[in-house]
């Protein structure tokens, strides 16, 4: 049965949540794991993210009985608390540049909840992480793991995953660090870059790299490609502006004889000696690790004065954004992108 | 009504084609325009592409009456001709590296038509171009144009579109060149690179850039983002391995105050003075041109000897691919990527 | 945008609810009307239905701001209260005949919540009525009304709607009665039949008739027929076993010259002088009232001893159902079937 | 993978056909069986149906290789021949009563192909039968059979299927008769009724009964009920106006203790001693035969003079339909309804 998920809620409304349809029945809901994933997304101290700290305890309303999924729709709700609507109402007519304030207003005819970004808020990624954690539990039963790290923040690069030998054992190590990186040193340098961005009243972008291990060959199809399914899920994560599989944009400067992935037998398994295609050929998984990179833009909410428009009076205006914002969302976004990827892979598998 | 399209066919079967559902009724089928788009995709002489030249005349089976769409499903079929199956059967068990031979065989349990790549063949992009041309006709009625150019082939870069001032007037000029580039000189250099790749028995990758002009603000949604809809369509094009919107992966090295797009009034219109977000904010069009780049890998079919596996005997093997192949598909792929983009934009608009 | 709704919850879990996606923005949420619809579904006193009386106050979690829909997903949750799980656990392995106990157990591998029917419970129709009430609010803005009455309970027949002249003015009058009938006398007789069924430790079935007024011609399509859209929604209501449009099964004994609907002009409007087709031709609305009948089976939960199986021990068994049950659900089901119909009509309209 | 099918074509255009997506790979395409199903739908001699006799040879364009499905989209096209457009153009502005002429014109803004009913023509059921035959081949591999008979034509009733003991062995016997009935005598009487209707320049309606044998318990779900999936497919068949499962509308006059289906063990199998629910409980198959009845209206095209409207001039008009028409479509419709049912059951199974 097709797996569907619907994220609902607004940043300053009663709550946010998700409904998952098409889940298998009998899946053990490891709430400790789910909560640990939720915790990875939460704001961090030390100037690395917003000071809005929330509990984010999901309440499961339906679809779980005696600790296992029933197979009928699972709804989880997270109550909003610690909202400071006063921060926002003063500036409701001023579109924050590079935010969805203007496009959301046009899209919904002015009826969208503008407080704190409403349905566009990064807060909506909390139920996405919940849903992704459920997907990870199911994938783990099939021997499939999804992990990520920050490949870049501004000028600082992390070591990439080894595209032919990435192991799920790394994932827990990475997730346990202050910033999820492979190289501890890169992570420390990224922290400095982020703290400097905050000091400079700005924000900084980066790149997240994801690996999916254990995925068997044969998932996806030419007409509904695995890359396409993953992309559609990933682009629903706020601030994502690009995705590339394997060598990705690097293919644009490459020659076929350099980047074709030679194949060989590894016992009974067909493998490739390189993995420039990121584990997907013709829209179908090849059995090699699925590897992709996701471009994340700098948080648009910065404290510096910016030029914008007053949407009510149709005039130019300037804006200084108040409130609590992340100078860099990469640290919190890694588990979010993992969640979207896990859901996509589960969707592709469940559809076959 | 939702627009859906189903591409069918195999490279060496009776024919290929497409069914379009959810088309509006009354759309004038400008067959001259449609054929001109088909012609842009066809193989080119002068060593720039394969020597398999085909007529590619689509026959419209249904959904058109007295020169206009009826609103009921439109089916078009293109007969296969000039097939040389003998080229392929000798090597049917040898997986071509970086091709879908192995993944397709696993996915379909060995029942897929392997001749000429079967359903995975680049030939299947012909009905996609047909469908895209129909979408372009509808979009043109709304004042929306979709155009593209080769931004890169190997080491050669073209001038990018001006992200705030790209005009549809350029598109025809670009499409009329031997290679679709903005700079004629870049196009000439690209030809040399491609011819050299052919001489070197290899192939070369590149990047295609697409612009959509005239799209009003408000198309898309946070839950089903315009980037996601476009991506899913684009990744169904063979050889695409990455997509980025606006600054895309460039955001990964950028600071918020540098790349946020300042907004201003332009008469009654809300515009931005830069367009790093590629015309999409929060998954919704902003009214600025939609700009994105697509990474295309080098054609995996190269004449050099390659290491691979014999899928029937489960042994290592080496392969020298025979037959007619493109040393670079960028020239032919530009109109294909435009087609996928046009269909995606029409889908997003028709769904609202 | 396509309207979707997902009903979630189990009878004895924390709560039940619904997520509505694809709602228009700006719709005024008339909570008084919505609550009045919820009240129509609630258990009635006087031996006509179960004695489980609940508040059924939906809490809107998302998608509404300042009293109007935002256009983003709307989630409403109704908490479960007054649950007596003790009634059910004693008999959890005994499949209630004509219930979903056995099929649900097979479908979900035994992981479904069996208490009170779980996700199969008639209680799940409460969020359906909520969603239907929202749909009715939107339809009313377009001049479209949906109403229903009990056409039959056991041997007692009500007067049918006038298929060419049914007026929405009737709907409020019908809804205000103890049982929703056109003829008060028929309603009184039905009450006697229901009370007798209760006294006889059995239950009784019936037929509900629905009318949709004000629907313009042209809604639906031959490939996704309006009858099909309505049916799919209606058959998701528990206990529904049949649906017929207009003359329905009566066509099986009819001749074309008797039942073809002659057409004529009524000023500028095209009308038919009879409406045997129930307002739908070729899967598309004709502008005449849409009329259909729905067969509802007797509540399977009856107090008499019944033959069944023990699903855990794979043996024959006998069962006497305890607990509070409706001897006839027609009175409560009318607003439920209206709700499913309203959602279907809104889906068909929003998809065009 | 979800099974989808798209029927395309118009009665007097170049051709009609179907694209099937989501088929399994490796299914043996028994063309003899498929053609025999097509033949069952074709016009019959002896005054029982239209005199438009066609070859209806489907050409498979894609999705089949070496006699088996590839798993990629299967397109089949049937060329139109023997069209007499002259029959229709004289009356193109006169809406045939109880036909889709008026609703189709409104739906498609006047751009629909009106010749011979265009996309609404009963001829479009030919590709549906083709698709249904493919579905039957797959179902047969799972031990599932779909068969039907005419339960009623006007006043004549056939013997119904035995709801607990219907056997697929009957299906071939029924299909081999002049009219597909269980009782030969009923079939002969129906022929007389049909011939009399033709002589009387009218047409006659009826009821088709379908049985699905061998379907395991557990197919369907409460939110997407098996009844709903079947109904949606069945109502896409022209002239269908009602559907009921098991006792269906008979439940409206029944008491629970009379019609609840008692359950018992039959060896290891759970069965019921009656099957009033038609093999479906809670939207899920119970393992008993799925039994349902479909109401088919009299062909609206009758030779008698009828009152109608001139859609171009907005005036009342009278109409005498010329051309070749069926006085009763039940004989040809049985295999069509079977096809729609087979596709629905396959959809429900493939989605799980």
Residue pLDDT, tens place only, C286-317: 999 999 999 999 999 999 999 999 999 999 99
CA-CA distance, B245 to A49, in Å (whole number)?
26
Average pLDDT on B99-122 reads 95
Residue of chain A whose alpha carbon sits nearest to that of B309: A264
* Beta bridge mates, B21: B4
Degrees (nearest 5) of the Cα angle B97, B99, B101?
95
Average pLDDT on A221-235 reads 97
Q: Look at strands B64-65 and B59-62 and give their pairing.
A: unpaired
- pLDDT at position B322 is 79
Count of pairs with CB atoms under 8 A, one residue in B, one in C: 19
* A59–C111 C-beta distance less than 8 A: no
Q: Which residues of B touch D109 (CB under 8 A)?
A: 25-26, 71
- pLDDT at position A352 is 87
Q: In which element (H, E) is residue C270 found?
A: strand C269-272
Give the distance from residue D351's alpha carbon to the nearest chain A alpha carbon, in angstroms. Answer: 5
Query: Residue holding tokens 């028709």?
Result: B350
- Phi then psi for residue B296, to 5 deg, are -120, 125
Radius of gyration of chain A (CA): 21
- pLDDT at position B1 is 83
Reply yes or no on whether the pLDDT at C53 is more than 60: no
Residues 6+ apart with CB under 8 A from A305: A318, A319, A320
What count of Cα atoms within 13 Å lies in the side-chain half-sphere of residue D290? 29
pLDDT digits (tens, 9 = 90+) for B12-45: 999 999 999 999 999 999 999 999 999 999 866 6
CA-CA distance, B301 to B203, in Å (whole number)?
8
Between C44 and C40, residue with greater pLDDT: C40
Q: Which residues of B touch A252 (CB under 8 A)?
A: 152, 154, 205-207, 295-296
CA-CA distance, C261 to C254, in Å (whole number)?
13
pLDDT digits (tens, 9 = 90+) for B162-182: 999 999 999 999 999 999 999
- pLDDT at position A50 is 61
Count of pairs with CB atoms under 8 A, one residue in C, one in D: 346
- pLDDT at position B246 is 98
- pLDDT at position D178 is 93
Q: What is the mean pLDDT of chain A?
A: 94
Nearest to C98 by CA among B247, D255, A320, D29: D255
Degrees (nearest 5) of the Cα angle C119, C124, C126?
165
Reply yes or no on whether the pLDDT at C231 is more than 90: yes
Residue of chain A whose alpha carbon sits nearest to that of C13: A62
Q: HEC string of chain B?
A: CCCEEEEEECCCCCEEEEEEECCCCCCECCHHHHHHHHHHHCCCCCCCCCCCCCCCCCEEEECEECCEECCCCEEEEEECCCCCCHHHHCCCCECCCCCCHHHHHHHCCCCCCCHHHHHHCHHHHHHHHHHHHHHHHHHHHCCCEEEEEEEEECCEECCCCCCCCCCCHHHHHHHHCCCCCCCHHHHHHHHHHHHHHHHCCCCECEEEEEEEECCCCCCECCCCCHHHHHHHHHCCCCCEEEEEECCHHHHHHCEHHHHCCCEEEECCEEEECCCCCCCEECCEECCCCEEEEEEECCCCCCCCCEEEEECCCCEEEEECCCCCCCCCCHHHHHHHHHHHHHHHHHHHHHCC
Lowest average pLDDT, out of A75-89, A167-181, C315-329, goes to A75-89
* C109–A71 C-beta distance less than 8 A: yes
pLDDT digits (tens, 9 = 90+) for D27-48: 999 999 999 999 999 866 666 6
Q: Which residues of A touch B285 (CB under 8 A)?
A: 103
Reply yes or no on whether the pLDDT at D53 is more than 60: no
Question: Would the CA dihedral through C77, C83, C89, C95 be positive or negative?
Answer: negative
Average pLDDT on B143-157 reads 98
Reply yes or no on whether the pLDDT at B83 is more than 70: no
For the CA atoms of A215, A216, A220, A222, the dihedral, rounded to the nearest 10 degrees, stands at 130
Q: Which residues of B touch A249 (CB under 8 A)?
A: 207, 242, 244, 249, 293, 295
Nearest to D229 by CA among C107, C232, C5: C232
Query: Residue holding tokens 């919704």?
Result: B284
Q: D52 falls in which pLDDT band (50, 70, 90)?
A: low
Q: Which of A285-289, B174-178, C323-327 has the highest mean pLDDT?
A: A285-289
Reply yes or no on whether the pLDDT at C88 is more than 60: no
CA-CA distance, C298 to B293, in Å (whole number)?
61
Question: Would the CA dihedral through A65, A70, A75, A78 be positive or negative?
Answer: positive
CA-CA distance, A55 to A43, in Å (whole number)?
10
* Beta bridge mates, B43: none
Nearest to D250 by CA among D261, D259, D241: D259
Residues 6+ apart with CB under 8 A from B190: B150, B153, B154, B156, B158, B179, B181, B206, B330
Question: Terminal CA-to-CA distance of chain D, rounded, Å?
Answer: 9
ipTM computed for the complex = 0.96
Distance of CA C39 to the CA centre of its chain: 14
Radius of gyration of chain C (CA): 21
- pLDDT at position B352 is 87
Give the distance from residue D281's alpha carbon to the nearest chain A alpha carbon, in angstroms. Answer: 16
pLDDT digits (tens, 9 = 90+) for C146-186: 999 999 999 999 999 999 999 999 999 999 999 999 999 99
Q: What tokens appear for A146 in the block?
A: 């999804």
Reply yes or no on whether the pLDDT at B326 is more than 90: no
pLDDT digits (tens, 9 = 90+) for A136-190: 999 999 999 999 999 999 999 999 999 999 999 999 999 999 999 999 999 999 9
- pLDDT at position C85 is 56
Radius of gyration of chain B (CA): 21
* C225–D286 C-beta distance less than 8 A: no
Nearest Cβ partner of A104 from B95, B197, B284?
Answer: B284
Q: Which residues of C touch B73 (CB under 8 A)?
A: 223
Average pLDDT on C341-347 reads 98
Q: Which residues of A touch B103 (CB under 8 A)?
A: 217-218, 220, 280-282, 284-286
CA-CA distance, B199 to D23, in Å (whole number)?
43
Q: What is the pTM of this model?
A: 0.96
Residue of chain A whose alpha carbon sits nearest to that of D223: A72
Nearest Cβ partner of B19 from D8, D15, D65?
Answer: D8
Identify the chains in contact with D, defined as 3+ C-beta pairs within 8 A.
A, B, C
Lowest average pLDDT, out of A90-99, C190-199, C252-261, goes to A90-99
- pLDDT at position C326 is 85
CA-CA distance, D25 to D170, in Å (whole number)?
30
Nearest to D122 by CA among D347, D295, D324: D324
* B223–A265 C-beta distance less than 8 A: no
pLDDT digits (tens, 9 = 90+) for A309-335: 999 999 999 999 877 678 999 999 999
- pLDDT at position C154 is 97
Burial class of residue B166, CB neighbours in 10 A (0-12, 13-18, 19+): buried
Question: Would the CA dihedral through A100, A102, A105, A107 be positive or negative?
Answer: negative
| Tally of CB atoms within 10 A around D108 | 24
Average pLDDT on A50-74 reads 87
Give the distance from residue B59's alpha carbon to the nearest chain D alpha carbon, in angstroms. Answer: 9
Q: In which element (H, E) is residue D342 found?
A: helix D330-350
- pLDDT at position B268 is 93
Q: What is the mean pLDDT of chain B?
A: 94
Query: Residue holding tokens 């428009």?
Result: A309
* B260–A97 C-beta distance less than 8 A: yes
pLDDT digits (tens, 9 = 90+) for C201-216: 999 999 999 999 999 9
A158: left (phi over 0), alpha (psi -120 to 50) or beta: beta
CA-CA distance, B330 to B336, in Å (whole number)?
10
Q: Which residues of D touch C314 (CB under 8 A)?
A: 265, 268
Between B46 and A7, residue with greater pLDDT: A7
* D8–B75 C-beta distance less than 8 A: yes
pLDDT digits (tens, 9 = 90+) for D258-293: 999 999 999 999 999 999 999 999 999 999 999 999
Query: Residue holding tokens 């369509």?
Result: B233
* B352–C1 C-beta distance less than 8 A: yes
Q: What is the mean pLDDT of chain C?
A: 94
- pLDDT at position D155 is 97
Burial class of residue C104, CB neighbours in 10 A (0-12, 13-18, 19+): buried
What are the Cα distances from residue A231, in Å, to A341, B116, B219, C16, C295?
9, 28, 18, 32, 45
- pLDDT at position D42 is 85
Query: Residue holding tokens 């807060």?
Result: A123
CA-CA distance, C204 to B302, in Å (whole number)?
74
Residues 6+ apart with CB under 8 A from B296: A251, A252, B205, B206, B207, B208, B239, B240, B241, B329, B330, B333
* B154–A253 C-beta distance less than 8 A: yes
* D155–C235 C-beta distance less than 8 A: no
């Amino acid at each position: 049965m097709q797996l569907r998920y619907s994220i609902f809620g607004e940043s300053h409304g009663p709550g946010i949540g998700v409904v998952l349809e098409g889940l298998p029945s009998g899946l053990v809901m490891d709430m400790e794991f789910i909560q640990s994933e939720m915790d990875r997304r939460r704001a961090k101290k030390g100037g690395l993210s917003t000071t809005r700290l929330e509990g984010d305890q999901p309440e499961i309303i339906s679809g779980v009985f005696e600790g296992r999924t029933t197979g009928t729709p699972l709804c989880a709700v997270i109550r909003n608390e610690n909202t400071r609507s006063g921060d926002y109402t003063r500036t409701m007519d001023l579109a924050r540049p590079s935010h969805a304030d203007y496009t959301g207003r046009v899209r919904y005819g002015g009826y969208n909840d503008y407080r704190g970004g409403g349905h566009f808020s990064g807060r909506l990624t909390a139920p996405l992480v919940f849903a992704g954690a459920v997907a990870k539990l199911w994938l783990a039963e099939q021997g499939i793991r999804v992990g990520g790290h920050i490949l870049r923040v501004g000028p600082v690069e992390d070591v990439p995953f080894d595209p032919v030998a990435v192991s799920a054992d790394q994932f827990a190590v990475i997730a346990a660090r202050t910033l999820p990186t492979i190289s501890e040193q890169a992570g420390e340098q990224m922290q400095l870059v982020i703290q400097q961005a905050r000091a400079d009243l700005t924000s900084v972008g980066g790149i997240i790299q994801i690996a999916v291990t254990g995925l068997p060959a044969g998932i996806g199809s030419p007409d509904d490609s695995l890359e396409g399914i993953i992309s559609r899920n990933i682009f629903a994560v706020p601030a994502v502006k690009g995705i590339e599989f394997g060598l990705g944009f690097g293919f644009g400067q490459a020659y076929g004889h350099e980047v074709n992935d030679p194949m060989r037998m590894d016992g009974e398994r067909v493998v490739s000696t390189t993995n420039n295609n990121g584990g997907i050929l013709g829209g179908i998984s090849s059995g090699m690790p699925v590897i992709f990179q996701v471009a994340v833009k700098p948080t648009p909410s910065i404290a510096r004065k910016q030029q914008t428009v007053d949407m009510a009076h149709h005039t130019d205006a300037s804006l200084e954004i108040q409130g609590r914002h992340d100078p860099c969302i990469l640290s919190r976004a890694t588990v979010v992108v993992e969640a979207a990827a896990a859901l996509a892979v589960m969707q592709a598998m469940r559809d076959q």
